[in-house]
């Protein structure tokens, strides 16, 4: 298939919206990562997204809307908690998992009775959704298993020839995907950590928030849909798959910062002495927002350089944004952690 490259002009966005309306696939920028969009209410369009990404079909999509009030098309149950969250965080990187309304195709929600919804904080994404006149289902615009795309060039590398159009916008400001929060239960539960943290959510709703216990199991998961070796089943189906894997082998070093730096130097020298090329990923201490912004781009850059081994320093944050970055880093490394 020919993939057309579009700019963010109003004219080009009209072309993109027409493609979406006619059941095609368009990759577009959001504030978190690039998304690969299709009409969320068109089952055959959504099926094509799974094909283009090579994504398992039990892994549901996030449905993107351009006005908070459009949530009413997708769910009929709006609690006080949901309304407070929308007021505080939309548009923005918070996805809400709610009971779905009849009429949303099963392929969009991976056969679940719930639907994940977010209103992105990005003018191009919002304009595209508005012009399309339908909610847009969009997973991250990478090949399944690869690092998420935070630059237009990442999307072009992964999806050229597989989608109808790619909108070339700016680099993504947040850099990691949205926080996914299940608000169907009595106490909201974070299924995927992101830049909006449990503490911020608790302040917004004036109540408690839980974290999915599966987020704390630091070991590789089975890749098939039967779930995890240890019997823990993450509630967001996507959290159980192999993810964000660079081509190189990757090791995360955890411990006191100076010791980590020294151990990285030692391992780098040792590996280089036997002919391996080594890439190092070490963010400034406590610069969690910058780490989130740059994490996926650095992984892709090191892969491009063709390094054999990536040595990464763990971020020291038990919750918050550092925790969200660590969730991705540990998956990238296949939970290969060395304590120093």
**Binding residues for Mg ion, per CB under 5 A?**
140
- Shortest Å distance, C-beta 179 to ligand TXA: 8
Residue 235, contacted partner among Mg ion, ligand TXA, none, CB below 5-8 A by kind: ligand TXA
Residue 179, contacted partner among ligand TXA, Mg ion, none, CB below 5-8 A by kind: none
Looking at the Cβ atoms of 38 and 264, the one nearer to ligand TXA is: 38
Nearest residue relative to ligand TXA (C-beta): 238
* Alpha-carbon span 311 to 295, nearest angstrom: 13
Binding site for ligand TXA (CB under 6 A): 30, 32-33, 35, 59-62, 93, 95, 97, 109, 112, 114-116, 120, 138-140, 177-178, 180, 191-192, 235-239
Looking at the Cβ atoms of 151 and 264, the one nearer to Mg ion is: 151
- On the 0-12 / 13-18 / 19+ scale of CB atoms within 10 A, 106 is middle
Looking at the Cβ atoms of 36 and 315, the one nearer to ligand TXA is: 36
CA distances in angstroms from 78 to 35, 97, 192, 195, listed in the order given: 26, 11, 22, 24
- Shortest Å distance, C-beta 330 to Mg ion: 16
Residue 180, contacted partner among ligand TXA, Mg ion, none, CB below 5-8 A by kind: ligand TXA
Looking at the Cβ atoms of 53 and 168, the one nearer to Mg ion is: 53
Residue 61, contacted partner among ligand TXA, Mg ion, none, CB below 5-8 A by kind: ligand TXA
- Shortest Å distance, C-beta 83 to ligand TXA: 19
Looking at the Cβ atoms of 247 and 262, the one nearer to Mg ion is: 247
Q: DSSP labels for 182-194?
A: E-SSSS-EEEE--
**Euclidean distance between the first and the last CA atom of the chain, given in angstroms as a whole number:** 49
- Shortest Å distance, C-beta 303 to ligand TXA: 19
Report whether 244 contacts 332 (CB < 8 A).
yes
Residue 115, contacted partner among ligand TXA, Mg ion, none, CB below 5-8 A by kind: ligand TXA
Residue 109, contacted partner among ligand TXA, Mg ion, none, CB below 5-8 A by kind: ligand TXA
CA distances in angstroms from 59 to 107, 216, 221, 223, 316, listed in the order given: 9, 21, 15, 12, 30
Task: Compute the 3-state secondary structure of the chain and give helix, strand, coil in percent, each to the nearest 5.
Answer: 35, 15, 45
Whether omega before 91 lies within 30 degrees of 0, making that bond cis, reads yes
- Distance, C-alpha 65 to centroid of its chain: 17
Structure-block tokens of residue 306: 């063709």
Nearest residue relative to Mg ion (C-beta): 140
* Alpha-carbon span 324 to 70, nearest angstrom: 28
Looking at the Cβ atoms of 72 and 306, the one nearer to ligand TXA is: 72
């Amino acid at each position: 298939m020919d993939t057309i490259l579009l700019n963010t002009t109003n004219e080009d966005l009209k072309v993109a919206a027409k493609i979406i309306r006619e059941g095609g696939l368009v990759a577009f920028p959001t504030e978190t990562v690039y998304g690969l969009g299709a009409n969320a209410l068109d089952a055959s369009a959504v099926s094509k997204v799974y094909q283009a990404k090579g994504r398992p079909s039990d892994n549901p999509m996030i449905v993107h809307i351009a006005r908070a009030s459009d949530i009413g098309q997708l769910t009929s149950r709006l609690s006080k908690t949901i309304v407070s969250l929308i007021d505080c965080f939309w548009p923005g990187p918070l996805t809400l998992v709610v009971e779905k309304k009849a009429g949303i195709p099963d392929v969009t929600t991976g056969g679940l009775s719930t639907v994940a919804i977010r209103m992105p904080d990005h003018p191009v994404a919002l304009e595209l959704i508005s012009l399309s006149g339908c909610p847009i289902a969009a997973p991250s615009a990478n090949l399944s298993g690869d690092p998420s795309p935070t630059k237009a060039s990442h999307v072009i590398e992964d999806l050229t020839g597989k989608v109808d159009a790619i909108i070339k916008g700016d680099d993504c400001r947040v850099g990691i995907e949205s926080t996914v929060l299940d608000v169907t239960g009595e106490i909201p539960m974070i299924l995927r950590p992101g830049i909006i943290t449990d503490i911020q959510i608790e302040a917004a709703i004036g109540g408690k928030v839980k974290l999915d216990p599966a987020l704390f199991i630091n070991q590789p998961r089975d890749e098939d849909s039967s779930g995890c070796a240890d019997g823990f089943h993450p509630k967001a189906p996507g959290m159980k798959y192999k993810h964000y894997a660079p081509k190189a082998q990757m090791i995360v070093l955890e411990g006191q910062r100076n010791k980590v730096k020294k151990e990285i130097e030692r391992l780098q020298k040792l590996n280089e002495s036997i002919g391996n090329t080594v890439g190092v990923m070490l963010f400034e201490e406590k610069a969690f927002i910058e780490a989130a912004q740059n994490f996926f781009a650095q992984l892709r850059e090191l892969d491009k350089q063709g390094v054999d081994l990536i040595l990464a320093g763990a971020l020291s944050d038990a919750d918050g944004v550092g925790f969200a970055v660590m969730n991705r880093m540990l998956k990238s490394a296949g939970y290969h952690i060395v304590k120093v």
